[in-house]
Amino acid sequence: MESRIKLELRIDWSEIDLFGHVNNLAIFKYVQAARVNYMEMIGLMQLQAEIKTGPILASATCQFRKPLFYPGKVIVYSRVDAIKNSSFHLQHEIKNDDGEIAAEAHDIIVMYDFGKKHKFNIPEEIKDKITLLNKTLIK
């Protein structure tokens, strides 16, 4: 991945399943935390609070590569890899303590008007913030 946002999270004992590794639902929780973190950074969460329009998750996929174990931490690297009219695609790499890729996830976020119940185009100021983040983040 090129420019990306980094979010470090601690693996909690409660995320371990019967087989002794982190349950797949916990990995989706890590991705959700990274998604919300990214949307806060570009102002989408504030937009939703102010004018009742904002992001909805249209799709979330994950490829699991290596198990994660407790105790430990995960680092989620996130970046937008496509911007369309009313949606953008958010790509995530979930790495273990050794820097190995444990999972790769992909989200499609759609801008949605909750009052009118339909999607709308991404505001230019949000597109500009995404573009700026992609240009200024460390590689």
List pLDDT tens digits, range 7-35: 999 999 999 999 999 999 999 999 999 99
Q: Is the pTM of this model over 0.85?
A: yes
Of the chain, the percentage scoring pLDDT greater than 90 comes to 81
Tokens of 49: 């609070």
Tell me the C-alpha distance between 107 and 35, whole Å. 8
- By CB atoms closer than 10 A (0-12, 13-18, 19+), residue 8 is exposed
Give the model confidence (pLDDT) of 32-46 as tens digits: 999 999 999 998 888
Of 78 and 1, which is predicted with more confidence? 78
Question: pLDDT band for position 136 (50/70/90)?
Answer: confident
Q: Does residue 139 sit within a domain?
A: no
Domain range for residue 109?
Answer: 5-133
Tell me, what DSSP letter sits at residue 22? B
Q: Residue 4: what pLDDT?
A: 85
Give how many domains the chain has, as a whole number: 1
Q: Does residue 138 sit within a domain?
A: no
Q: Residue 31: what pLDDT?
A: 98
Looking up residue 105, the CATH number of its domain turns out to be 3.10.129.10
